Amino acid sequence: MSTNGAPVPPPQPSLLKSTALSNGTVPPSVFTLPQTAQLEALYTIIRDKDTSRGDFLFYSDRIIRLLVEEGLNHLPVVKKTVITPTGSTYAGVGFEGKICGVSILRAGEAMEAGLREVCRSVRIGKILIQRDEETTQPKLFYSKFPQDIAKRYVLLLDPMLATGGSAIKAVDVLMENGVPEDRIIFINLISSPEGLRTFSEKFPRLKVITGWIDQGLNEKAYIIPGLGDFGERRYCE
């Protein structure tokens, strides 16, 4: 549906695959949402520079929830048997172990609500990484995690993956705090092929869930076509 309630015309089938998908360059540890007409319509709305802040919030939140649900699909499960209200036995599954979210400030905080909507009482950690003006490298400025984070599966939240520098630093910090690489799932809305390659080569056992893989980076390392500064569009009028 469009912002005025009218159905959104489906895009041409040739547009339904992101660039890296069509080129077959997606690393094996990277998973994208199904590239449907509905998802394309949601991304078209949030990419539009004329979309209002209210609509940007609403439609980006829809995508975030889809991403979180997909991320949960990649968590391990164990067999679990329950008794239904009819007295019948049902052999199902349950999640193995505890999870927590860790948002990369500040844009990653926008994804916390989507996680809380599907995981009641989930613990949330935060990490702030900025560029060191002297070295130009990502630098840790602040972190706060659950005390038992080393025993949890971690959903790392950041909406945009451009060069991959901040995300790589965030994973380094998590691993320094005892979280194994293969217990981290990185969730984001839009990725660049360059960032995905760099990130996945560094952490081949870490799964990445992304909504869309864009064309690439421009000379300023901005994602193209992208959607601009996610934090600015999310938090500023």
Distance CA 13, CA 124 (A): 39
In the prediction, which pLDDT does 94 show? 92
**pLDDT at residue 22, rounded to an integer:** 43
Least confident range from 80-84, 134-138, 183-187, 226-230: namely 134-138
* pLDDT beyond 70 at 171: yes
By C-alpha distance, which of 160, 145, 167 is closest to 60?
160
Could you tell me which of 237, 234, 227 has the C-alpha nearest to residue 109? 234
In order, the DSSP letters of 179-227 are: --GGGEEEEEEEE-HHHHHHHHHH-TTSEEEEEEE-SEE-TT--EES--
Q: Give all domains of the chain, ordered by start, each with its CATH number.
A: 29-236 (3.40.50.2020)
Instruction: Provide the pLDDT for residue 136.
Output: 66
Main-chain dihedrals φ then ψ at residue 5, nearest 5 degrees: 95, -5
Out of 41-50, 114-123, 225-234, give the one with best mean pLDDT: 41-50
| Residues 222 and 232 sit within 8 Å (Cβ to Cβ) | no
Residues in the chain, total: 237
**Span 53-81, mean pLDDT?**
95
Give mean pLDDT, residues 90-106.
93
3-state helix, strand, coil in the chain (%, to 5): 35, 30, 35
* Model pLDDT, residue 10: 42
pLDDT, greater one: 176 or 232? 176
SS3 232: helix
Cβ count near 7 (within 10 Å)? 8
With a cut of 50, say whether residue 76 has pLDDT above it: yes
Beta strands of the chain (E only): which ranges? 30-32, 77-83, 89-95, 99-105, 123-131, 138-144, 153-157, 160-161, 184-191, 207-213, 216-217, 223-224
Give me the sign of the Cα torsion angle 58, 236, 227, 185: negative
First-to-last alpha carbon distance for the chain, in angstroms, is 24
Query: Residue 63 CB: number of other CB atoms within 10 A?
Result: 22
Residue 6 pLDDT greater than 60, yes or no: no
- Residues 130-152 have a mean pLDDT of 86
Residue 17 has pLDDT above 90, yes or no: no
